[in-house]
Amino acid sequence: MTNVTIAGERVLVTGASRGIGRAVMRRLAADGYSVVGLARNRPDDLQSHEEFHCVDLSDPESTRKLVSELAAERPFYGLINNAAMAPTTSLDDCTIEDMIEAAKLNLHATLICTQAVVPGMRATQRGRIVNLSSRAALGKVNRTAYSASKAGVVGMSRTAALELAEHNITVNVIAPGPIATELFRTASRPDDPRTKALVAAVPLQRVGEPEEIAHAVAFLLDPRGGFMTGQTLYIDGGLTVSMVHL
Protein backbone atom coordinates (compact mmCIF):
# COMPACT_ATOMS: atom_id res chain seq x y z
CA MET A 1 0.00 0.00 0.00
CA THR A 2 1.36 3.43 -0.95
CA ASN A 3 2.39 5.64 1.95
CA VAL A 4 -0.10 8.52 1.96
CA THR A 5 1.86 10.84 4.24
CA ILE A 6 2.17 14.26 2.61
CA ALA A 7 3.05 16.42 5.61
CA GLY A 8 6.05 18.54 4.74
CA GLU A 9 6.46 17.20 1.20
CA ARG A 10 7.93 20.04 -0.87
CA VAL A 11 5.98 21.37 -3.84
CA LEU A 12 6.80 24.15 -6.31
CA VAL A 13 4.00 26.21 -7.90
CA THR A 14 4.66 28.68 -10.73
CA GLY A 15 2.41 31.62 -11.49
CA ALA A 16 1.42 31.53 -7.83
CA SER A 17 0.63 35.20 -7.28
CA ARG A 18 -3.02 35.09 -8.39
CA GLY A 19 -5.78 33.07 -10.01
CA ILE A 20 -5.32 29.33 -10.29
CA GLY A 21 -1.75 29.40 -9.03
CA ARG A 22 -2.69 31.26 -5.87
CA ALA A 23 -5.59 28.89 -5.24
CA VAL A 24 -3.30 25.90 -5.75
CA MET A 25 -0.71 27.28 -3.37
CA ARG A 26 -3.33 27.80 -0.66
CA ARG A 27 -4.96 24.40 -1.15
CA LEU A 28 -1.70 22.46 -1.04
CA ALA A 29 -0.52 24.34 2.03
CA ALA A 30 -3.83 23.53 3.72
CA ASP A 31 -3.29 19.87 2.83
CA GLY A 32 0.04 19.87 4.63
CA TYR A 33 2.54 20.32 1.81
CA SER A 34 5.52 22.65 2.13
CA VAL A 35 4.71 24.97 -0.77
CA VAL A 36 7.07 27.30 -2.62
CA GLY A 37 5.50 29.88 -4.92
CA LEU A 38 7.05 31.61 -7.92
CA ALA A 39 5.81 34.57 -9.95
CA ARG A 40 6.98 37.92 -11.24
CA ASN A 41 5.24 39.76 -8.39
CA ARG A 42 4.32 38.81 -4.86
CA PRO A 43 0.64 38.23 -4.07
CA ASP A 44 -1.08 41.16 -2.42
CA ASP A 45 -2.28 38.84 0.33
CA LEU A 46 1.01 36.97 0.92
CA GLN A 47 1.24 35.69 4.49
CA SER A 48 4.41 35.85 6.59
CA HIS A 49 4.65 32.06 6.79
CA GLU A 50 4.45 31.51 3.01
CA GLU A 51 7.60 30.93 0.97
CA PHE A 52 7.55 32.98 -2.20
CA HIS A 53 10.20 34.04 -4.70
CA CYS A 54 9.90 36.67 -7.41
CA VAL A 55 11.26 35.78 -10.83
CA ASP A 56 10.45 36.55 -14.45
CA LEU A 57 9.58 33.05 -15.63
CA SER A 58 9.90 34.13 -19.26
CA ASP A 59 13.60 34.71 -18.58
CA PRO A 60 15.19 31.25 -18.98
CA GLU A 61 18.47 31.97 -17.22
CA SER A 62 16.94 33.62 -14.16
CA THR A 63 14.35 30.86 -13.90
CA ARG A 64 16.84 28.03 -14.22
CA LYS A 65 19.18 29.62 -11.66
CA LEU A 66 16.49 30.15 -9.03
CA VAL A 67 14.73 26.80 -9.40
CA SER A 68 18.05 24.91 -9.44
CA GLU A 69 19.07 26.67 -6.23
CA LEU A 70 15.75 25.84 -4.58
CA ALA A 71 15.98 22.19 -5.67
CA ALA A 72 19.53 21.96 -4.31
CA GLU A 73 18.28 22.99 -0.85
CA ARG A 74 15.88 20.04 -0.68
CA PRO A 75 14.30 17.91 -3.44
CA PHE A 76 10.79 18.71 -4.59
CA TYR A 77 8.12 16.03 -4.46
CA GLY A 78 5.75 18.01 -6.66
CA LEU A 79 5.85 20.62 -9.43
CA ILE A 80 2.87 22.54 -10.76
CA ASN A 81 3.70 24.44 -13.94
CA ASN A 82 0.89 26.97 -13.98
CA ALA A 83 2.38 30.28 -15.19
CA ALA A 84 0.94 31.36 -18.53
CA MET A 85 0.09 34.23 -20.81
CA ALA A 86 -2.60 34.38 -23.49
CA PRO A 87 -2.13 36.61 -26.56
CA THR A 88 -5.54 37.40 -28.07
CA THR A 89 -4.83 37.74 -31.77
CA SER A 90 -6.54 36.25 -34.79
CA LEU A 91 -4.77 34.03 -37.28
CA ASP A 92 -4.29 36.99 -39.63
CA ASP A 93 -2.91 39.25 -36.91
CA CYS A 94 -0.77 36.73 -35.03
CA THR A 95 2.92 37.46 -35.37
CA ILE A 96 6.03 35.37 -34.89
CA GLU A 97 6.72 37.57 -31.86
CA ASP A 98 3.34 36.55 -30.39
CA MET A 99 4.26 32.90 -30.86
CA ILE A 100 7.65 33.39 -29.28
CA GLU A 101 6.30 35.28 -26.27
CA ALA A 102 3.63 32.65 -25.63
CA ALA A 103 6.20 29.87 -25.93
CA LYS A 104 8.62 31.57 -23.53
CA LEU A 105 6.22 31.39 -20.61
CA ASN A 106 3.82 28.60 -21.52
CA LEU A 107 6.36 26.11 -22.86
CA HIS A 108 9.94 27.11 -22.14
CA ALA A 109 9.38 27.89 -18.44
CA THR A 110 7.61 24.54 -18.04
CA LEU A 111 10.60 22.74 -19.55
CA ILE A 112 13.16 24.65 -17.49
CA CYS A 113 11.39 24.13 -14.17
CA THR A 114 10.88 20.45 -14.92
CA GLN A 115 14.52 19.94 -15.84
CA ALA A 116 15.59 21.66 -12.61
CA VAL A 117 13.48 19.53 -10.24
CA VAL A 118 13.64 16.13 -11.94
CA PRO A 119 17.15 15.20 -10.74
CA GLY A 120 15.93 15.41 -7.14
CA MET A 121 12.85 13.38 -7.97
CA ARG A 122 14.98 10.73 -9.64
CA ALA A 123 17.22 10.58 -6.58
CA THR A 124 14.24 9.95 -4.29
CA GLN A 125 12.49 7.75 -6.88
CA ARG A 126 9.17 9.55 -6.60
CA GLY A 127 7.51 12.71 -7.81
CA ARG A 128 4.39 14.35 -9.19
CA ILE A 129 4.39 16.87 -12.03
CA VAL A 130 1.19 18.65 -13.05
CA ASN A 131 1.28 20.92 -16.08
CA LEU A 132 -1.50 23.38 -16.85
CA SER A 133 -2.69 23.41 -20.44
CA SER A 134 -6.09 24.71 -21.58
CA ARG A 135 -9.23 23.60 -23.36
CA ALA A 136 -8.13 26.19 -25.93
CA ALA A 137 -5.47 23.69 -27.05
CA LEU A 138 -8.32 22.00 -28.93
CA GLY A 139 -8.99 25.23 -30.81
CA LYS A 140 -10.32 28.66 -29.88
CA VAL A 141 -10.96 31.75 -31.97
CA ASN A 142 -8.32 34.48 -31.59
CA ARG A 143 -5.94 32.29 -29.60
CA THR A 144 -3.47 31.11 -32.27
CA ALA A 145 -0.31 31.55 -30.21
CA TYR A 146 -1.93 30.52 -26.93
CA SER A 147 -3.56 27.40 -28.39
CA ALA A 148 -0.33 26.35 -30.07
CA SER A 149 1.72 26.72 -26.89
CA LYS A 150 -0.87 24.95 -24.72
CA ALA A 151 -1.13 22.08 -27.19
CA GLY A 152 2.64 21.86 -26.93
CA VAL A 153 2.33 21.45 -23.15
CA VAL A 154 0.24 18.32 -23.69
CA GLY A 155 2.73 16.79 -26.11
CA MET A 156 5.70 17.59 -23.92
CA SER A 157 3.94 16.17 -20.86
CA ARG A 158 3.08 12.88 -22.56
CA THR A 159 6.71 12.43 -23.60
CA ALA A 160 7.97 13.33 -20.12
CA ALA A 161 5.53 10.82 -18.61
CA LEU A 162 7.10 8.05 -20.69
CA GLU A 163 10.67 9.05 -19.87
CA LEU A 164 10.10 9.47 -16.12
CA ALA A 165 7.79 6.54 -15.40
CA GLU A 166 10.65 4.20 -14.49
CA HIS A 167 11.56 6.58 -11.66
CA ASN A 168 8.05 6.56 -10.17
CA ILE A 169 7.48 10.14 -11.37
CA THR A 170 4.07 10.88 -12.85
CA VAL A 171 3.35 13.69 -15.31
CA ASN A 172 -0.22 14.75 -15.96
CA VAL A 173 -2.00 17.73 -17.47
CA ILE A 174 -4.97 19.76 -16.36
CA ALA A 175 -6.72 21.65 -19.16
CA PRO A 176 -9.16 24.17 -17.69
CA GLY A 177 -12.02 25.71 -19.58
CA PRO A 178 -13.39 29.12 -18.59
CA ILE A 179 -12.23 29.82 -15.04
CA ALA A 180 -12.88 33.06 -13.14
CA THR A 181 -9.29 34.33 -13.10
CA GLU A 182 -7.68 37.63 -13.99
CA LEU A 183 -6.24 36.03 -17.13
CA PHE A 184 -9.66 34.85 -18.29
CA ARG A 185 -11.28 38.21 -17.63
CA THR A 186 -8.52 40.00 -19.56
CA ALA A 187 -8.56 37.65 -22.54
CA SER A 188 -12.35 37.16 -22.57
CA ARG A 189 -14.10 40.42 -21.79
CA PRO A 190 -17.56 39.95 -20.24
CA ASP A 191 -19.13 42.28 -22.84
CA ASP A 192 -17.62 40.37 -25.76
CA PRO A 193 -20.34 38.39 -27.61
CA ARG A 194 -17.93 35.46 -27.90
CA THR A 195 -17.48 35.38 -24.12
CA LYS A 196 -21.23 35.45 -23.57
CA ALA A 197 -21.70 32.66 -26.09
CA LEU A 198 -18.95 30.61 -24.45
CA VAL A 199 -20.46 30.83 -20.97
CA ALA A 200 -23.93 30.09 -22.36
CA ALA A 201 -22.53 26.99 -24.07
CA VAL A 202 -21.08 25.50 -20.88
CA PRO A 203 -23.34 22.55 -20.02
CA LEU A 204 -23.04 23.34 -16.31
CA GLN A 205 -24.09 26.92 -17.14
CA ARG A 206 -21.34 28.69 -15.24
CA VAL A 207 -17.68 29.62 -15.20
CA GLY A 208 -15.41 27.53 -13.00
CA GLU A 209 -13.59 28.71 -9.89
CA PRO A 210 -9.81 28.56 -9.30
CA GLU A 211 -10.41 26.41 -6.21
CA GLU A 212 -11.96 23.71 -8.39
CA ILE A 213 -8.73 23.46 -10.40
CA ALA A 214 -6.73 23.44 -7.17
CA HIS A 215 -8.77 20.46 -5.99
CA ALA A 216 -7.85 18.52 -9.14
CA VAL A 217 -4.18 19.39 -8.64
CA ALA A 218 -4.38 18.04 -5.09
CA PHE A 219 -5.84 14.80 -6.44
CA LEU A 220 -3.02 14.38 -8.96
CA LEU A 221 -0.37 15.09 -6.31
CA ASP A 222 -1.75 12.58 -3.84
CA PRO A 223 0.58 9.58 -3.33
CA ARG A 224 -2.42 7.34 -3.96
CA GLY A 225 -2.66 8.67 -7.53
CA GLY A 226 0.54 7.04 -8.67
CA PHE A 227 -0.98 4.84 -11.39
CA MET A 228 -2.15 7.79 -13.50
CA THR A 229 0.38 9.39 -15.82
CA GLY A 230 0.50 10.94 -19.27
CA GLN A 231 -3.15 11.98 -19.06
CA THR A 232 -4.95 15.24 -19.78
CA LEU A 233 -7.85 16.10 -17.48
CA TYR A 234 -10.30 18.62 -18.95
CA ILE A 235 -12.09 20.69 -16.32
CA ASP A 236 -14.44 22.82 -18.38
CA GLY A 237 -17.99 22.37 -17.17
CA GLY A 238 -18.66 19.86 -19.93
CA LEU A 239 -17.56 21.94 -22.93
CA THR A 240 -15.25 19.26 -24.26
CA VAL A 241 -17.95 16.62 -23.98
CA SER A 242 -20.46 18.85 -25.75
CA MET A 243 -17.98 19.36 -28.62
CA VAL A 244 -18.60 23.11 -28.61
CA HIS A 245 -15.49 25.07 -29.59
CA LEU A 246 -16.11 28.80 -29.38
φ, ψ at 49 (rounded to 5°): -85, -5
CA distances from 190 to 77, 85, 187 (A): 38, 19, 10
**Residues present in the chain in total:** 246
**Catalytic annotation present for 234:** no
CA distances from 152 to 49, 168, 191, 193 (A): 35, 23, 30, 28
Query: SS3 of 149, please?
Result: helix
Q: For residues 230 and 60, what is the distance between their CA atoms, to the nearest angstrom?
A: 25
Q: For residues 17 and 231, what is the distance between their CA atoms, to the nearest angstrom?
A: 26
Active-site residue identified among 33, 77, 146, 234: 146
Cβ-Cβ contacts under 8 Å for 43 (sequence gap 6 or more): 16, 17, 18, 22, 37, 52
Q: For residues 20 and 156, what is the distance between their CA atoms, to the nearest angstrom?
A: 21
Angle, CA 48 vertex, CA 42 and CA 49 arms, to 5°: 110
Q: For residues 78 and 128, what is the distance between their CA atoms, to the nearest angstrom?
A: 5
Q: Give bridge partners of residue 127 from the DSSP assignment.
A: 169
* Residues belonging to the active site: 146
